[in-house]
A = this chain, B = another copy of it.
Amino acid sequence: MQNTYRLVIDCPDQTGLVAAVSQFLTDHGANILEANHHTDLQLQRFFMRHEIEADSVQLSHKAFVDAFSKIAQAYDMRWTLNNSDTKAKVALLASKESHCLIDVLHRWHTGELQCDIPCIIANHEKMREYADWYKVPFHYIDFSDKKVAFAEIERLLDHYQIDLTVLARFMQIVPDYLCQKLAGKAINIHHSFLPSFAGAKPYQQAYERGVKLIGATCHYVTTDLDEGPIIEQEVLRISHSDSSLDMVRKGKRCEVNALANGIRYHLQDRVIIHQNKTVVFA
């Protein structure tokens, strides 16, 4: 993998903005591998992502940040500059369903997901065998006292200096204080096409309503359960002839694909959260 800088910006829409950024990049010899722009005409807001060959720029990460800060200030930008060589540290939280955990681990193992996975945290011991095989430290958390359990999770996330927390079918409601601490840095997979069937037992809800498509939603965690900014959604067609096992199988397929895309977009700095929505430069 080539080392790249990812410059991600959003700011009020203004004439001259793109020219200023482009001129900056040109002045520093940047070879742009991918560029994405989006103007939200309703919000009068501009979103932009550049992926730049790191070696083409005669700037260290720090020097780049310093140099760009002036432009950023002039245009009132929210912005980040990440280096693809600096891998994010991702914690996986699981319960007793293994399909999402396994899928993420495999994509990580084969290099599709570029990150470090320093720990797996679960409230079921049976996830340990997967952690062991992938040689990832495993932490079992006893949930008999939820308050204690989440304190321990928070401690682990701090200890491992986690950048992204992935709730891979974790099935426990994260307390508000932790949601707030992890804002924009925690991703959940919900097994329905939100906003339909939020909350518990979405497959059962889907079965009872008699919908003809089943889905999954990958979204950022917020204090409003299942209401966070959506990153990715997947659906598959179902019919009366699908048994509950068929629905679960199709649902799992939606889940793993929505989650894998959601994580990848986040890790590649392709997602910009604005208010309760996302711009995803897929």
Q: Which positions in A face B, CB cutoff 8 Å?
A: 15-16, 18-19, 21-23, 25-26, 29-41, 47, 56, 98-99, 102, 106, 110, 112, 133, 193-197, 209-213, 215, 229-233, 235, 239-241, 243, 249, 253, 257, 276-280, 282
| Additional A-B contact list (16), CB under 8 Å, known A18-B32, A22-B22, A210-B229 | A15-B29, A15-B31, A19-B23, A19-B26, A21-B22, A23-B23, A33-B39, A33-B41, A34-B39, A35-B39, A38-B241, A193-B213, A194-B211, A195-B197, A210-B276, A239-B280
A243 to B232: give the CA distance in the assembly, Å.
Answer: 18
**The residue from B36, B110, B280 contacting A98, defined by CB atoms under 8 A apart:** B110
9 A-B pairs in the complex with CB atoms less than 8 angstroms apart: A18-B26, A38-B241, A102-B106, A195-B211, A209-B277, A210-B277, A212-B280, A213-B215, A213-B235
Interface of A is mostly: mixed
A38 to B16: give the CA distance in the assembly, Å.
Answer: 21
**Most B CB atoms within 10 A — which of A31, A133, A212, A278?**
A212
CB-CB under 8 A from A235, the residues of chain B are: 213, 235
Ranked nearest first, the 10 interchain pairs of A and B with the lowest CB-CB distance are A210-B277, A19-B22, A19-B26, A35-B37, A212-B233, A18-B22, A240-B279, A196-B196, A16-B26, A22-B22
A29 to chain B minimum Cβ distance, whole angstroms, is 6
A38–B211 touching, CB < 8 Å: no
A6 to B23: give the CA distance in the assembly, Å.
Answer: 22
B19–A25 touching, CB < 8 Å: yes
A282 to B242: give the CA distance in the assembly, Å.
Answer: 9
A135 to chain B minimum Cβ distance, whole angstroms, is 11
Which residue of chain B has the shortest Cβ distance to A18 in the bound complex?
B22
A56 to B231: give the CA distance in the assembly, Å.
Answer: 34
A151 to B35: give the CA distance in the assembly, Å.
Answer: 46
A210–B278 touching, CB < 8 Å: yes
Which residue of chain B has the shortest Cβ distance to A258 in the bound complex?
B212
